Amino acid sequence: MTNDTLANQLAGLSVRLLHRLAKNRVPRHFRMGKNRLIQTLLSLSPEQQADLETHLSSLLQAHPRVPQPPKHGKGDKPKHEPNVVSRPALPPQPSVPAKPAISLQALLEGIGVPPPQSFKPDDWQQEAIDRLTTNDVILSVPTGSGKTYVAIEAMRRAIKADRMVIYTSPLKALSNTKLTEFSQTFGADQVGILTGDRRDNPQAPILIMTTEILRNLLYDAASGEIDMRLDTLGLIILDESQFLADRERGVVWEETIIFCPAQARLLLLSASIGNPDEIAAWISSIRSESCHLIQHRNRSVLLRAAYLDPGGKLAPFFRTRDIARGRGFALHPETKRLFANYEEQTLSPRSKR
């Protein structure tokens, strides 16, 4: 087999299979990404390579091409590897090599605690709250932006209008945190929690539960045997709605959205995902009111990246101070040097004891 064909075949494999191939052939293969795995496999000695090819063909037989995850299969996971192919290999070509790389000092500038400020909602927060009076809303903003504020204000409005609110989270642990948080805001008598086997304060206007419990309630309501006041339900908040893509539980989010009572507004809180517009279009297509998408990628607190060498040396991770979005990346020369050095020392056979 020529090197090119081999390279092509390897490129067609999933990272998972590449790791299998690399096992016992490449030291510390598990640390490598796809491109480097391929490079390393291609640089094996001729005898090793012959052996590799045999293994490869048997793997290809067992997994003819990379079996892509079936879209709706039961027993497989949603593996997202679309970036594998397009990802620039290491070392990447700096897209704009003109500017000098940032210094560590400049990277670490400005650390500190800002003085307390009076709270002023962001525009997107206000927009979300206002939109909710007439529309469903999906909020897809970075982690830690302040989605909870929107949830709380929407709850406040619903309660004022004598409507009930259901708030769901994917994990019981998060439900408990929210119970504490909402009880502090609204008073303990205003917030209840339902779990599979327990109901605490189920008459409260705000009810916290996992999404599964809500789905079950909606099924009971559909068959007309319900001891809950779903007709007064004004708002359903689904936190962490990116769970829609969870292999095992995602279907529960779909069921909940499909069966959400028509008079209740839906508020989906989600971390940044690639296609919130698609989800908004879907919800709009099945609900009486259109679903309004509020989305941004700007972090409310600046985020910078650094590299820390095991020897204790710190360096900027990228050439630029801020993390660029969607325009490729350029690692800082110092980080490249430190990492190459680390690789050399820990990957070379000598250091393997």
Partner 1 sequence: MPPAIHPVDLLRVLRHQRLTPAIVFLTSRRACDEAIGSFEHRQLPIPPTRSSAITDVLDHMIAEYPSIADHPLIPTVQRYGVAAHHAGHLPSWKIAVEELMRQGCLDAVFATTTLAAGVDFPARTVVITQSSVRKDRDIVELTVNEIQQLAGRGGRRGKDYVGFVVVTPSPYIDLGPIANGLTNHPEPIDSQFVVSYPMVLNLLKAHSIDHIQPILEKSFAQFQLNQRTDAYETKLDDVEAQLETYGQRECADWIAQWQSFSLAKKRRSHHRRKTQHDPPEISAQLAFLTPGRAVELSKDYAIVLRQYRSRGQGAPMLTVIRSSGRIVEYPASAVTAVIDEVIDVTEARRFPWCTPQSLEHAVTTLEQFPARLRRLPIRVDPNGADNPILTETLMDEFPCPTCPSRPACQKDHPQALKLRQEEHRLTKTIHALRTELWHRFQQHIEVLQKFGYLTPACQLTSEGDWARLIRINHSLLITELIRMGAFEGISASLLAGVLASIAHDDDRPASFAGRQQALISTLGQVRKIAHSLSAYEEPPLLRLDVAAIVDRWIAEPTLPWSELIHATTMAEGDIYRLLARTLEYLSQLHGLRSTHPGLADIARDAMDLMRRDVLQELP
Ligand X SMILES: Nc1ncnc2c1ncn2[C@@H]1O[C@H](COP(=O)(O)OP(=O)(O)OP(=O)(O)O)[C@@H](O)[C@H]1O
**Contact set with ligand X (CB under 6 A):** 119, 121-122, 125, 143-149, 271
Nearer to partner 1, 76 or 161 (CB): 76
Contacts of 73 (CB under 8 A, 6+ apart): none
In the complex, minimum distance from the CB of residue 47 to partner 1, in angstroms, rounded to a whole number: 26
Residues of this chain, 82-141, that bind Mg ion according to CB under 5 A: none
Residues of this chain, 133-172, that bind Mg ion according to CB under 5 A: 147
Specify the DSSP class assigned to residue 163: -
The option from Mg ion, partner 1, ligand X, none interacting with 183 (CB < 5 to 8 A, set by class) reads: none
The option from partner 1, ligand X, Mg ion, none interacting with 154 (CB < 5 to 8 A, set by class) reads: none
The option from Mg ion, partner 1, ligand X, none interacting with 122 (CB < 5 to 8 A, set by class) reads: ligand X
- Contact call for residues 116 and 352 (beta carbons, < 8 A): no
The option from ligand X, partner 1, Mg ion, none interacting with 99 (CB < 5 to 8 A, set by class) reads: none
CA neighbor of 332 nearest in space, from 344, 347, 322, 345: 322
User: What is the C-alpha to C-alpha distance for residues 181 and 277, in angstroms, rounded to an integer?
Assistant: 30
Nearer to ligand X, 1 or 174 (CB): 174
Nearer to ligand X, 118 or 223 (CB): 118
Phi and psi, residue 293, nearest 5°: -95, 125
- Which of helix, strand or coil describes residue 144? coil
The option from ligand X, partner 1, Mg ion, none interacting with 121 (CB < 5 to 8 A, set by class) reads: ligand X
Contacts of 172 (CB under 8 A, 6+ apart): 195, 210
Q: How far is CA 156 from CA 136, 145, 151, 165, 205, in A?
A: 16, 20, 9, 9, 10
Which H helix or E strand runs over 98? none
Q: And the tokens for 53?
A: 């090819």
In the complex, minimum distance from the CB of residue 126 to ligand X, in angstroms, rounded to a whole number: 9
Q: And the tokens for 327?
A: 């325009």
Nearer to ligand X, 146 or 333 (CB): 146
Q: And the tokens for 306?
A: 């650094």
Q: How many residues bind Mg ion (CB under 5 A)?
A: 1
Cα radius of gyration rounded to whole Å, the chain:
26
Nearer to partner 1, 163 or 237 (CB): 237
Nearer to partner 1, 31 or 99 (CB): 31
Residue nearest to ligand X (CB): 146
Q: And the tokens for 202?
A: 């189920």
The option from ligand X, partner 1, Mg ion, none interacting with 184 (CB < 5 to 8 A, set by class) reads: none
Nearer to partner 1, 81 or 289 (CB): 81
In the complex, minimum distance from the CB of residue 210 to partner 1, in angstroms, rounded to a whole number: 10
- Contact call for residues 283 and 136 (beta carbons, < 8 A): yes
Nearer to partner 1, 99 or 133 (CB): 99
Residues of this chain, 209-248, that bind Mg ion according to CB under 5 A: none
The option from partner 1, Mg ion, ligand X, none interacting with 149 (CB < 5 to 8 A, set by class) reads: ligand X
The option from ligand X, Mg ion, partner 1, none interacting with 160 (CB < 5 to 8 A, set by class) reads: none
User: What is the C-alpha to C-alpha distance for residues 266 and 280, in angstroms, rounded to an integer?
Assistant: 11
In the complex, minimum distance from the CB of residue 105 to ligand X, in angstroms, rounded to a whole number: 29
CA neighbor of 32 nearest in space, from 24, 43, 22, 45: 22
CA neighbor of 6 nearest in space, from 46, 33, 114, 24: 46
Residues of this chain, 176-205, that bind Mg ion according to CB under 5 A: none
- Contact residues toward Mg ion (CB under 5 A) are 147
